[in-house]
Structure 1
Amino acid sequence: MSFLVSLIVISALIFFHELGHYFAARAMGVYVEVFSIGFGRRIASFKRWGTEWKLAIIPLGGYVKMKGQDDSDPTKKSYDNDSYNVKTPSQKIFILLAGPLANFVLAFVLYFVIALGGPNVLSPVIGNVVKESPAFLAGLETNDTVRSINGTPITEWKEMAEIIEASDGQLSLEVERGGYIHFITLSPKITQTTNMFNEVIEKKMIGIGSAGVSHKLELGVGETLSYATEQTAFASTLIFTGLKKLIVGEVPAKELGGIISIVKLTSDATDAGWMSVLFFAALISVNLGVLNLLPIPALDGGHIMFNLYELIFRREVNEEIMVKLTIAGWVILFSLMGLGLYNDINRLVG
């Protein structure tokens, strides 16, 4: 069941991406020949509005085949009025941007739905207290609830962590313990830890871990919109940062995941409930949007790069160069997919 949900989620995200391209192409007067979810042999298909809509056997992506555009052979062109090739660079860029934009919009909608349902957040309830840490020496205990820091009310674990990390000097904590309020003063200590990218970093900490207690956020209409916007922006920034760290070598290539990781994480999210599935679907949707904007030929970003060149220099990219760059793009793309699959298999074996 979890695998089926994973397949449906991934296919739905790909569908929305390609639907963005489809509607933009039709709006620009471009004839769309094929709309495919998956690659390889056709499983099922039907023809509607002049387009063949099909489901293919390999669910690792999808594509919209427009008249005059063929990534497998960039030299194949058509100059009919309803062809992609006769459109201006600006119109082509609009069509190409529509796919990633659809993923960002979908992520926003998913985060908005999550906000309406009341997302779970960690409560500021202390679990483990590290021995000889500032928290331990100050007398903080397991199951203490932090109500405020330096007079600032605390409702989420994240708020408390941010205040501690940005602090300068002593902190005054208002703590609830067994129905009584205690006031505790302590000074954070710079400690080595690892971040979400498995990098060793130094940050101010007091030596406590979360008890894992959570509560639902009750959000108004304005707060719901803000939540959806902030989460979409945060997810986009997170993915861009991760890509940058991967490219410059700050994060090892073994951290790259592939389709198996995506399926496994979606399955795990399914087991945790529908809210987790929506969270993960939103994150993967943003991921698809960001990755497709990379300036790699064979991806939307690569085609945008070619059209920006034409827009700036008033001439098309040399056909021979375009073919070579497209082939190089496919090599890079398949190499990254292969590396992700290799890492996935290693994780499973390990």
Structure 2
Amino acid sequence: MGTITFLLVLSFLVFFHELGHFLAARYFGVKVHVFSIGFGKQIYSKYWAGTTWQIALIPLGGYVKMKGQDDTNPALTESGDDSYNTKKPWQRIIILFAGPFANFLLAAILYFTIALMGAKTLAPIIGNVSPDSVAFQAGLQKNDEIIRINDLEIKTWDEIGKVITTTEGALQFYIKRDNNLIIKIINPQISDSQNMFNEKIKKRMIGIAPIGEVITLNLSFYDSLIYAYDKTIFASTMIFQGVQKLISGIIPSSEIGGVISIGKIISDASESSIIALLTITALISVNLGILNLLPIPALDGGHIMFNLYEMIMRRKPSEQVFMFLTIMGWIILGSLMLLGIYNDINRIFLNN
């Protein structure tokens, strides 16, 4: 069942990505020969509205084959107003960007759906107070519920951290303890900490940790839109920074995961709850959007780079350079996929 869920989720994400390319291409009058979910041998197809819609044997991706554009033949050129290569560079860039944009849009829709269904988050209730911290000195205790900081109403634990790290000076905490309201003035201190990439950082802290109680957010339609926007931006920033840390060597290459890891994550999420599955699907969708925008010639980002070059230099890259960089791009992608699978297999043996 987990494998079926994985294939359905991946196919759904690929479909949405390729649909972005398809709609943008058709908007600019580019003929689309094939809309494929999967690679390799065709196992199902239907010709409709001038396009062959197909499902292929290897369900680990997909493609839109446009007139005048073919990744398997980078030097391909075709004449006519309905050809991709006769469009202006800015139009081609929009067609290329539409795929990753569709992934970001899908993630926002999924996060919005999660918000309407009842997003889960940590309650703003203290579980631990570090000895000798400013919170301990102020008299904060376990089971204290933080209901307001200064003039901002607090509903989630994440909001506490945001207020502490983004404001200056002392803060006025409104604490609910045994149905009594207590006010504490606390001046956060700069302390050593770690970010999500295990880097040592310094930030404003007061020395408290959550109790771990999970609550359901009751968000209005407007608040759900804000939630979806914030979550999509946060996921995009997190993944983009992760790629940066990977390139700079802060995150080791052993952390790269492949299709096996993705399949297990999706399978575990599907067994947990529908909200967990939607959350993982949204995160993977953002991941696909970010990764496809990397300036690797075989990806959308690489093709965007070529078109930006043409816009600036008023000429296309030479055919030899274009072919060489595209082949190198495929080698880089293939190497990353093999590394991901190798890491996945290593983790399986280590866990056993």
Say yes or no: TM over 0.5: yes
Give the AA of the match of 1:37: I
- Counterpart of 2:261? 261
Deviation at 1:63, TM superposition (A): 0.6
CA pair 123-325 structure 1, distance change in 2 beyond 3 A? same
Aligned to 1:296: 296
Residue by residue over 1:266-321, the C-alpha shift from the partner in whole angstroms, topping out at 9 and shown as x without a partner, is 22322331122222222221221121111111111111111222222222210011
Structure 1 residue 187, shift from structure 2 partner: 4.7
Partner of 1:317 in structure 2? 317
Query: Using the alignment, how far apart are the partners of 1:142 and 1:3 within structure 2?
Result: 43
SS at structure 1 position matched to 2:4: helix
Q: Distance in 1 between matches of 2:346 and 2:169?
A: 45
User: What residue is the counterpart of 2:212 in the other structure?
Assistant: 212
CA distance in 2 between partners of 1:150 and 1:82 (Å): 60
Name whichever of 287-296 and 147-156 sits farther off: 147-156
Q: Which residue of 2 aligns with 1:100?
A: 100
Map 1:68-107 to 2 at 5 A. Answer: 68-107=68-107
Q: Which residue of 1 aligns with 2:6?
A: 6
Other-structure match for 2:43 = 43
Separation (CA, whole Å) in 1 of partners of 2:296 and 2:228 = 29
Report if the CA contact (8 A) 1:199-1:251 is conserved.
no
% identical equivalent positions: 53
The structural deviation recorded for 1:136 is 4.3
Offset from partner CA, 1:123-174 (integer Å, 9 cap, x none): 1112233445444455433322122334643221111122333455555433
Per mean C-alpha deviation after superposition, the further-off stretch among 315-324 and 208-217 is 208-217
Measure the CA separation in 1 of the matches of 2:97 and 2:150. Answer: 46
Q: Is the 8 A contact 1:190 1:205 kept in 2?
A: yes
Q: CA RMSD in A?
A: 2.3
Q: Structure 1 residues 142, 272: closer, same or farther in 2, change over 3 A?
A: farther
The separation in 2 between residues aligned to 1:252 and 1:101, in whole angstroms, is 28
- TM-score, structure 1 as length reference: 0.90
Question: Could you say what secondary structure the match of 1:147 adopts?
Answer: strand
- The one-letter amino acid of 2:300's match is D
2: CA distance, partners of 1:150 / 1:292 = 42
Task: Name the CA distance, whole Å, in 1 between partners of 2:106 and 2:168.
Answer: 40
Matching residue of 1:62: 62
Tell me the distance in 2 between the aligned counterparts of 1:35 and 1:300: 16
Instruction: Give the match's secondary structure for 1:316.
Output: coil
Query: Is 1:330 equivalent to 2:326 in the alignment?
Result: no
Gaps of 5+ in 1: none
Query: Secondary structure of 2:5's match?
Result: helix
Counterpart of 1:221? 221
Q: C-alpha distance in 2, partners of 1:168/1:104?
A: 33
Counterpart position of 1:34: 34
What letter corresponds to residue 285 of structure 2 in structure 1? S
SS at match of 1:232: helix
Matched, 1:247 2:250: no
State the distance in 2 between where 1:36 and 1:17 align: 11
Larger CA deviation: 258-267 vs 58-67: 258-267
SS in 2 for 1:143: coil
Give yes or no for the alignment of 1:203 onto 2:212.
no
SS of structure 2 residue aligned to 1:53: strand
Residue type of the alignment partner of 1:208: I
Alignment of 1:107-146 (within 5 A): 107-146=107-146
Distance 1:347 1:191 in 2: 34
What does the per-residue CA deviation read over 1:64-109, in whole Å, with 9 as the maximum and x for residues that have no partner?
A: 1112222122123322443222222222222112111211221222
CA distance in 2, matches of 1:304, 1:167: 39
CA change 1:330–1:149 in 2 (3 A) is same
* Amino acid corresponding to residue 252 of structure 2 in structure 1: P
The answer on 1:340 being equivalent to 2:318 is: no
Cα distance, 1:189 vs structure 2 = 4.3
Task: Give 1:257's aligned amino acid.
Answer: G
Following the alignment from structure 1 to structure 2, what is the Cα–Cα distance between the partners of residues 185 and 312?
A: 56
2 CA distance for matches of 1:182 and 1:233? 35
2:53 is matched with 53
| SS of residue in 1 equivalent to 2:294 | coil
Which letter does structure 1 place at the counterpart of 2:288?
A: L
> Which piece of structure 1 moves more, 133-142 or 298-307?
133-142
SS at match of 1:334: helix
Distance 1:332 1:178 in 2: 60
Does the aligned pair in 2 maintain the 1:6–1:263 contact within 8 Å?
yes
Aligned to 2:286: 286
Kindly provide the amino acid, as one letter, of the partner of residue 129 in structure 1. V
The alpha carbon displacement at 1:51 in A equals 2.2
